[in-house]
Structure formats: C-alpha cells, structure tokens
Amino acid sequence: MEQSFAGPAILVEGLTKSFGDVHALRGIDLSVPRGTVLGVLGPNGAGKTTAVRILTTLLRPDGGRALVEGHDVVREASAVRRSIGLAGQSAAIQIELTGRENLEIIGRLYHLGRAASKARATELLEQFDLTEAADRAAKTFSGGMQRRLDLAASLVGQPQVLFLDEPTTGLDPRSRLGMWEVIRSLVAGGTTLLLTTQYLDEADELADEIVVIDHGEVIAAGTSTELKGRVGGDVLEFTVPDRPRVGDAVAAVTKLAEGEPHIDEGTGVVSVPVGVNGSDALIQSVRSLDEAGIETSGLGLRRPSLDDVFLALTGHAAEEEDADTGGKRRRGRRKGQPEAEKAGRASS
C-alpha cells in the first residue's frame, strides 16, 4: 500500500457537475482523513450518487478536482481504481450466478489468480455470513443477503478507500442493523469509508464526520455532536395522548420555544427547541401544561437529533425533491396519515 502519501484519503475541491439544466453538484468540498468514515447525508436528488460516481472514476466532473489516495480521479483514473472499492446504489451482482461465483469472478478480474480468488471468496462469504447460501444462485437471496454479497464484492480487492452508496436503503430494520454491524467491523480494520445515506440515524451511527448536502451544495459539515450543537441547545419533547388537544398543548409551551415547535404527524410527538436553559423550560412547561389541563406522556428533554439539524439548516425536514415536478414530498419516518385527525374523528 502507498503509505508514502500523507494527505487525506479523499480530497475534493470545488467539484461541479451538471446534466443539462440540472446542477447536480454546485461546488462541493470534502476532506476525509485516512481510516475515518465520512457520512454524506442528503435527500433524494441531493447529488450523493453523482459525487460518488465522480470519485470512483465513472463520471467526469465539469469543474473542480477530486483526489483519492493522492491520485486525481480524472488524470490518474487507473491509479484511483487500484485503491478503491464501490458498492453502488443497487446491488451489482449477477443473480443467476452463485454467491461464490460472483466473488470468484471479481477476484479473477482483480488478477488475484485462481487459488487466491477462491480463498478470498471463501473468506468474504464467511465474514458476511453467507457461507451457507454460498453455492445457491444469488436470485434466491433475500434483499439483505444480496446487499451483503454486493458489499463483499466491493472488498475483494482489499481497497484502501471504500465507497458505499446508500448501503441500507430498502432493507428491513433487522437487515439494516446487520449491515451496520458489518460496516463497523470493516472500519475497525482501518478502511477509509465514504458512505451516503438518506437516514439521519445511519450517519449518526456510523460516521466520524458528516456532511449534509442539499441541491448539490454542502450546507453543513462536522461531527454529529457539532451538527447537533448547530440547533443551539436542547429539545423539549412530549406526546399528547388526547390527540385533538395537541394544538392547545403547543400553544401552552410556545412562549418557551426558541424556534418553531414541530409536531410529528405520524407519531404525534411534539418537539420544541428550548435553547440552553433546558431545565427551566422543562419546569415551566410542566406548569403551563398542567394549568391548561393537558395530559402528556413521555415529557422530557433531549439532545437534538440530526432530524432537528436538518430542520434547522434547511428550514424543512429531510424531504425529497421531485426533480420532474418540482414538488416536495415528505419521506421516511415522517410520512404517514395524520393520526391526530383519525383519533379525533373516532372519539367524536
């Protein structure tokens, strides 16, 4: 390995890329020190895949530059290819072939030789808990297993820098946790990792540093703790079991709020940014809610989550931008029927 190079594993400066009128990247900067994990967080269409494709030599940037392990992704593309692994947004495996065949073929294409390719495949199948299914056609694999096989394929060449584009999108919660486990063990082995995700908790869980991108621009960067600090303090949170009274509850605590109170329509959880005097606010809120005769459950203070960060940074929750229509849709956990309404109707 090229230990001689001392700079960051990934360095990106002023990277731009447009597809016709669509400005997928409007000048992003990144620096990922060796052996660390960068989480690139952004909603649909933010430009995550475009950035990954440029860094993995699949796409030429319009402007700016990108270095991986000190090599320019355009001028020294083949040097870059020798040091990276890529697991793209869809599982790039051949489903007609077995798990083992998929990995052995990749090994041969890395010029490992027959015996070493076989050994490496066996080792990876073991590591990714696929040994039992190894000799079945990959089309019989579950989505989680296919994803793991795809990740294994990206590691055949023992890359120094690994790119994972939304590794857990579409997985059920259990497979997601399994995937996190696998990724953590990889990182423990010293691999530099750039991971894109739409899930705030995923970035929080896996990344040392996080950059938030939206509309092709980095809108925030830092550790998870630093980003949470950007929200400026604590969040008061509670649920109102009597759903029709949520509005009254919000009104009762509005005077404490240092930002816009947020009601999650799915879960009915009310979050109120209360700034630095969290405990005062907590006591005040108990009083006000009690005076107003509103029962609450789970009342408490918490450190802000990345959801709050996104809200604070962009003025909207992590939404997806529909490129075709320009319309916005709520996504992920925040989606769902406004249950407050349903409950209201049911009780009347």
Ligand X SMILES: Nc1ncnc2c1ncn2[C@@H]1O[C@H](COP(=O)(O)OP(=O)(O)OP(=O)(O)O)[C@@H](O)[C@H]1O
Q: Tell which residue, 95, 124, 90, has the closest CA to residue 110.
A: 124
Give the Cα separation of 264 and 336 in Å (integer): 10
- How many of the other CB atoms lie within 10 Å of CB of 326? 7
> Closest separation between CB of residue 122 and another protein, Å?
9
Q: Which does 108 bind (CB under 5 to 8 A by kind): Mg ion, ligand X, another protein, none?
A: another protein
Q: Is 44 left (phi over 0), alpha (psi -120 to 50) or beta?
A: beta
Which residue ranges make up the site for Mg ion (CB under 5 A)?
48-49, 89
- How many of the other CB atoms lie within 10 Å of CB of 210? 25
Q: Which does 45 bind (CB under 5 to 8 A by kind): ligand X, another protein, Mg ion, none?
A: ligand X
Sites for ligand X among residues 309-328 (CB under 6 A): 323
**In terms of CB distance, is 42 or 233 closer to ligand X?**
42
Q: Which stretch binds ligand X (CB under 6 A): 48-56, 261-269, 301-309, 327-335?
A: 48-56
Q: Which H/E stretch holds residue 2?
A: none
> Closest separation between CB of residue 304 and ligand X, Å?
23
The greatest distance separating any two alpha carbons of the chain, rounded to the nearest whole angstrom, comes to 76
211 is a contact residue toward ligand X (CB under 6 A): no
Residue whose token pair is 């390995």: 1
**In terms of CB distance, is 68 or 257 closer to another protein?**
68
Q: Which does 325 bind (CB under 5 to 8 A by kind): Mg ion, ligand X, another protein, none?
A: none
48 is a contact residue toward ligand X (CB under 6 A): yes
Q: Tell which residue, 6, 10, 42, 34, has the closest CA to residue 202.
A: 42
146 is a contact residue toward ligand X (CB under 6 A): no
42 is a contact residue toward ligand X (CB under 6 A): yes
**In terms of CB distance, is 54 or 311 closer to another protein?**
54
HSE-CB at 278 with a 13 A cutoff on CA atoms is 15
Give the Cα separation of 219 and 94 in Å (integer): 37
The residues of the shown chain that bind ligand X, judged by CB under 6 A, are 19, 22, 24, 42, 44-50, 89, 198, 323
